[in-house]
Chains A and B, each alone.
Chain A
Amino acid sequence: QVHLVQSGAEVKKPGASVKVSCKTSGYNFTTYAIHWVRQAPGHRLEWMGTINTDNGNTRYSRKFQGRVTITRDTSATTAYMELSTLRSEDTAVYYCARNVLTTIFWFFDLWGRGSLVTVSS
Protein backbone atom coordinates (compact mmCIF):
# COMPACT_ATOMS: atom_id res chain seq x y z
CA GLN A 1 0.00 0.00 0.00
CA VAL A 2 1.33 3.40 -1.03
CA HIS A 3 1.35 6.09 1.66
CA LEU A 4 2.55 9.60 2.34
CA VAL A 5 2.48 10.19 6.09
CA GLN A 6 3.06 13.72 7.28
CA SER A 7 4.21 15.07 10.60
CA GLY A 8 1.78 16.51 13.09
CA ALA A 9 0.36 19.94 13.70
CA GLU A 10 2.69 22.74 14.78
CA VAL A 11 2.17 26.08 16.48
CA LYS A 12 4.90 28.64 15.83
CA LYS A 13 5.53 32.25 16.72
CA PRO A 14 6.03 34.89 14.05
CA GLY A 15 9.61 34.92 12.83
CA ALA A 16 10.21 31.28 13.66
CA SER A 17 10.76 28.38 11.24
CA VAL A 18 8.87 25.15 10.78
CA LYS A 19 9.97 21.87 9.24
CA VAL A 20 7.32 19.43 8.02
CA SER A 21 8.13 15.86 7.08
CA CYS A 22 6.55 13.50 4.56
CA LYS A 23 7.38 9.85 5.09
CA THR A 24 6.69 7.73 2.04
CA SER A 25 6.19 3.99 1.77
CA GLY A 26 5.02 1.36 -0.66
CA TYR A 27 6.90 2.54 -3.74
CA ASN A 28 10.37 3.37 -5.00
CA PHE A 29 11.02 6.76 -3.37
CA THR A 30 13.53 8.01 -5.92
CA THR A 31 11.27 7.33 -8.90
CA TYR A 32 8.74 10.07 -8.14
CA ALA A 33 9.25 13.74 -7.39
CA ILE A 34 7.60 15.22 -4.33
CA HIS A 35 5.85 18.59 -4.31
CA TRP A 36 4.63 20.78 -1.47
CA VAL A 37 1.29 22.55 -1.74
CA ARG A 38 -0.36 24.63 0.94
CA GLN A 39 -3.97 25.60 1.64
CA ALA A 40 -4.53 28.65 3.79
CA PRO A 41 -8.00 29.27 5.24
CA GLY A 42 -10.22 30.74 2.56
CA HIS A 43 -7.51 30.47 -0.08
CA ARG A 44 -6.94 28.17 -2.99
CA LEU A 45 -4.32 25.46 -3.14
CA GLU A 46 -0.91 27.04 -3.65
CA TRP A 47 2.17 25.30 -5.03
CA MET A 48 5.35 25.96 -3.07
CA GLY A 49 8.04 23.86 -4.64
CA THR A 50 9.32 20.46 -5.61
CA ILE A 51 12.26 18.13 -5.19
CA ASN A 52 13.66 15.51 -7.51
CA THR A 53 14.00 12.72 -5.00
CA ASP A 54 16.69 11.02 -7.07
CA ASN A 55 19.25 13.83 -7.44
CA GLY A 56 17.93 16.30 -4.86
CA ASN A 57 17.39 19.13 -7.35
CA THR A 58 14.76 21.58 -6.21
CA ARG A 59 12.59 24.25 -7.74
CA TYR A 60 10.62 26.80 -5.77
CA SER A 61 7.76 29.16 -6.35
CA ARG A 62 8.95 32.76 -6.73
CA LYS A 63 6.60 33.66 -3.88
CA PHE A 64 8.49 31.48 -1.42
CA GLN A 65 11.99 31.71 -2.85
CA GLY A 66 14.43 32.48 -0.06
CA ARG A 67 12.06 31.28 2.68
CA VAL A 68 11.41 27.68 1.71
CA THR A 69 13.82 24.76 1.62
CA ILE A 70 12.82 21.31 0.42
CA THR A 71 15.11 18.38 1.15
CA ARG A 72 14.96 14.64 1.17
CA ASP A 73 16.55 11.70 2.93
CA THR A 74 16.60 8.77 0.54
CA SER A 75 17.55 6.26 3.23
CA ALA A 76 14.48 7.32 5.23
CA THR A 77 12.30 7.71 2.09
CA THR A 78 11.23 11.04 3.54
CA ALA A 79 10.89 14.51 2.12
CA TYR A 80 10.98 17.70 4.18
CA MET A 81 9.75 21.25 3.73
CA GLU A 82 11.16 24.01 5.92
CA LEU A 83 9.59 27.46 5.87
CA SER A 84 11.36 30.29 7.66
CA THR A 85 10.50 33.77 8.88
CA LEU A 86 6.93 32.71 9.53
CA ARG A 87 4.13 35.24 9.57
CA SER A 88 0.46 34.93 10.40
CA GLU A 89 -0.41 34.57 6.70
CA ASP A 90 1.56 31.31 6.66
CA THR A 91 -1.10 29.66 8.81
CA ALA A 92 -2.22 26.83 6.54
CA VAL A 93 -2.41 23.12 5.95
CA TYR A 94 0.75 22.00 4.19
CA TYR A 95 0.49 18.98 1.90
CA CYS A 96 3.14 16.84 0.30
CA ALA A 97 2.07 15.38 -3.00
CA ARG A 98 3.63 12.79 -5.27
CA ASN A 99 4.19 13.71 -8.88
CA VAL A 100 2.89 11.31 -11.48
CA LEU A 101 5.49 8.96 -12.91
CA THR A 102 6.30 11.12 -15.92
CA THR A 103 8.22 13.79 -14.07
CA ILE A 104 7.91 16.59 -16.61
CA PHE A 105 4.15 16.77 -16.07
CA TRP A 106 3.43 18.35 -12.73
CA PHE A 107 0.18 16.89 -11.50
CA PHE A 108 -0.21 14.79 -8.42
CA ASP A 109 -1.52 11.28 -7.99
CA LEU A 110 -1.06 10.86 -4.25
CA TRP A 111 -1.26 13.34 -1.38
CA GLY A 112 -0.39 13.28 2.28
CA ARG A 113 -3.16 14.09 4.75
CA GLY A 114 -1.68 17.49 5.46
CA SER A 115 0.10 19.17 8.36
CA LEU A 116 -1.55 22.16 10.01
CA VAL A 117 0.88 24.95 10.81
CA THR A 118 -0.49 27.76 12.94
CA VAL A 119 1.50 30.97 13.29
CA SER A 120 0.44 32.98 16.30
CA SER A 121 2.04 35.15 18.90
Chain B
Amino acid sequence: DIVMTQSPDSLAVSLGERATINCKSSQSILYSSNNKNYLAWYQQKPGQPPKLLIYWASTRESGVPDRFSGSGSGTDFTLTISSLQAEDVAVYYCQQYYITPPTFGQGTNLDIK
Protein backbone atom coordinates (compact mmCIF):
# COMPACT_ATOMS: atom_id res chain seq x y z
CA ASP B 1 0.00 0.00 0.00
CA ILE B 2 1.11 3.58 -0.57
CA VAL B 3 1.81 5.37 2.71
CA MET B 4 0.86 9.03 2.87
CA THR B 5 2.70 11.15 5.42
CA GLN B 6 1.63 14.68 6.25
CA SER B 7 3.56 17.42 7.98
CA PRO B 8 3.16 19.04 10.33
CA ASP B 9 0.70 17.11 12.50
CA SER B 10 -0.67 20.39 13.78
CA LEU B 11 -0.32 24.00 12.80
CA ALA B 12 -1.44 27.34 14.23
CA VAL B 13 -1.58 30.35 11.93
CA SER B 14 -2.78 33.91 12.49
CA LEU B 15 -5.90 35.10 10.71
CA GLY B 16 -5.06 36.46 7.27
CA GLU B 17 -1.72 34.66 7.17
CA ARG B 18 -0.66 31.80 4.91
CA ALA B 19 -1.02 28.18 5.99
CA THR B 20 0.97 25.43 4.31
CA ILE B 21 0.42 21.70 4.75
CA ASN B 22 2.67 19.08 3.21
CA CYS B 23 1.95 15.55 2.06
CA LYS B 24 4.46 12.96 0.94
CA SER B 25 3.68 9.64 -0.72
CA SER B 26 5.85 6.55 -0.32
CA GLN B 27 5.99 6.18 -4.10
CA SER B 28 5.24 8.41 -7.04
CA ILE B 29 1.57 8.99 -7.74
CA LEU B 30 2.20 10.70 -11.05
CA TYR B 31 0.79 8.69 -13.94
CA SER B 32 3.06 9.33 -16.89
CA SER B 33 0.45 8.50 -19.56
CA ASN B 34 -1.72 11.49 -18.66
CA ASN B 35 0.76 13.52 -16.58
CA LYS B 36 -1.69 13.66 -13.70
CA ASN B 37 -0.97 13.32 -10.00
CA TYR B 38 -3.55 11.11 -8.33
CA LEU B 39 -3.92 13.17 -5.17
CA ALA B 40 -6.89 14.72 -3.39
CA TRP B 41 -7.21 17.00 -0.37
CA TYR B 42 -10.09 17.01 2.10
CA GLN B 43 -11.17 19.32 4.89
CA GLN B 44 -12.88 17.91 7.97
CA LYS B 45 -14.44 20.26 10.48
CA PRO B 46 -15.36 19.00 13.96
CA GLY B 47 -18.41 16.76 13.91
CA GLN B 48 -18.61 16.81 10.12
CA PRO B 49 -17.58 14.41 7.39
CA PRO B 50 -14.63 15.17 5.13
CA LYS B 51 -15.23 17.60 2.30
CA LEU B 52 -13.42 17.36 -1.01
CA LEU B 53 -11.30 20.47 -1.65
CA ILE B 54 -8.84 19.59 -4.38
CA TYR B 55 -8.19 16.71 -6.77
CA TRP B 56 -5.55 15.98 -9.40
CA ALA B 57 -3.28 17.67 -6.86
CA SER B 58 -4.28 21.16 -7.97
CA THR B 59 -7.86 21.26 -9.30
CA ARG B 60 -10.28 22.96 -6.91
CA GLU B 61 -13.64 21.33 -6.40
CA SER B 62 -16.59 23.49 -7.41
CA GLY B 63 -17.47 25.99 -4.72
CA VAL B 64 -14.14 25.85 -2.91
CA PRO B 65 -12.74 29.35 -2.27
CA ASP B 66 -9.74 30.31 -4.35
CA ARG B 67 -7.64 30.92 -1.24
CA PHE B 68 -7.18 27.13 -1.26
CA SER B 69 -4.59 25.85 -3.72
CA GLY B 70 -2.72 22.62 -4.26
CA SER B 71 0.66 22.01 -5.81
CA GLY B 72 3.37 19.42 -6.17
CA SER B 73 4.16 16.40 -8.27
CA GLY B 74 5.51 12.88 -7.97
CA THR B 75 5.80 12.27 -4.25
CA ASP B 76 5.66 15.73 -2.67
CA PHE B 77 2.55 17.86 -2.44
CA THR B 78 1.37 21.00 -0.70
CA LEU B 79 -1.96 22.47 0.28
CA THR B 80 -1.82 26.22 0.75
CA ILE B 81 -4.42 28.51 2.27
CA SER B 82 -3.34 31.96 1.16
CA SER B 83 -5.16 33.99 3.81
CA LEU B 84 -6.49 32.01 6.74
CA GLN B 85 -10.11 32.60 7.73
CA ALA B 86 -11.74 31.53 10.97
CA GLU B 87 -13.91 29.00 9.13
CA ASP B 88 -10.81 27.20 7.86
CA VAL B 89 -10.14 25.68 11.28
CA ALA B 90 -10.26 21.96 10.54
CA VAL B 91 -8.26 18.82 10.02
CA TYR B 92 -6.89 18.43 6.50
CA TYR B 93 -6.18 15.08 4.85
CA CYS B 94 -4.44 14.12 1.64
CA GLN B 95 -5.45 10.95 -0.20
CA GLN B 96 -3.85 9.07 -3.08
CA TYR B 97 -5.98 7.29 -5.64
CA TYR B 98 -3.16 6.04 -7.83
CA ILE B 99 -3.49 2.44 -6.71
CA THR B 100 -5.90 0.38 -4.66
CA PRO B 101 -6.42 0.69 -1.78
CA PRO B 102 -6.81 4.45 -1.70
CA THR B 103 -4.92 5.69 1.34
CA PHE B 104 -5.00 8.82 3.44
CA GLY B 105 -2.49 10.87 5.33
CA GLN B 106 -2.72 11.01 9.11
CA GLY B 107 -4.22 14.48 9.02
CA THR B 108 -3.03 17.98 9.90
CA ASN B 109 -4.89 19.90 12.58
CA LEU B 110 -5.08 23.59 11.59
CA ASP B 111 -5.96 26.15 14.24
CA ILE B 112 -5.85 29.91 14.76
CA LYS B 113 -2.84 31.40 16.51
- Chain A residues in the interface with B (C-beta under 8 A): 44-47, 59, 61-62, 95, 97, 100, 105-114
**Contact A109 to B61, CB < 8 A, known contacts A44-B93, A44-B107, A45-B50:** yes
Verify A113–B95 contact, CB threshold 8 A: no
Given contacts A105-B38, A107-B95, contact A112 B49 (CB under 8 A): yes
Query: With A44-B93, A45-B93, A59-B100 as given contacts, are A108 and B52 in contact (CB-CB < 8 Å)?
Result: yes
Instruction: Flag if B49 contacts A111 (CB, 8 Å).
Output: yes
> Which residues of the other chain, B, contact A61 by a CB distance below 8 angstroms?
101
CB distance from A23 to the nearest CB of B (A): 15
List of B residues within 8 angstroms of A46 by Cβ: 104
Nearest CB in chain A to that of B38: its residue: A105
In order of increasing CB-CB distance, the 7 nearest A-B pairs are A111-B49, A45-B104, A107-B40, A106-B97, A44-B106, A47-B101, A106-B102
Shortest distance from the beta carbon of A59 to any chain B beta carbon, whole Å:
7
Contact indicator A107/B52 (Cβ below 8 Å) = yes
Q: Given contacts A45-B50, A47-B102, A108-B52, list 17 more A-B pairs with CB under 8 A.
A: A44-B106, A45-B107, A47-B101, A47-B103, A61-B101, A62-B101, A95-B49, A97-B49, A97-B50, A107-B40, A107-B52, A107-B97, A107-B102, A108-B40, A109-B52, A109-B61, A113-B49
Q: Are A114 and B93 in contact (CB-based, < 8 A)?
A: no
